[in-house]
């Protein structure tokens, strides 16, 4: 079983990669309850890592980065920091 910190990190990575995740998908893949997913999404939103929407979460608009290279540089620094 994943620790809560690792689970939230995986959720954030999935949202960044896919752009959107559903609560049902996270429940199934992480093998946790709906309330656990809701709590994780609330914490990640408070940290500014995603935006909660009905039945899931989305990544913030890509306007945060000038282009794909900026995003990749940011993503690599995030992985190295972890």
- pLDDT for residue 69: 64
Cβ–Cβ under 8 Å, residues 40 and 49? no
Token representation of residue 34 = 């709906």
- pLDDT for residue 65: 57
Question: Per-residue pLDDT averaged across 7-19, rounded?
Answer: 91
In the chain, what are the domains? 4-81 (1.10.10)
- pLDDT for residue 62: 56
Band (pLDDT 50/70/90 cuts) for residue 3 is very high
CA distance 44 to 27: 16
Predicted confidence (pLDDT) per residue in 27-71, tens digit: 999 999 999 999 999 999 999 889 999 999 988 765 455 556 666
């Amino acid at each position: 079983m994943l620790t809560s910190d690792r689970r939230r990190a995986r959720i954030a990575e999935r949202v960044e990669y896919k752009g959107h995740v559903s609560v049902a998908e996270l429940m199934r893949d992480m093998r946790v309850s709906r309330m656990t997913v809701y709590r994780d999404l609330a914490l990640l939103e408070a940290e500014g890592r995603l935006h909660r929407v009905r039945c899931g979460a989305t990544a913030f608009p890509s306007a945060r980065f000038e282009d794909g290279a900026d995003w990749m540089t940011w993503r690599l620094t995030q992985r190295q920091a972890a």
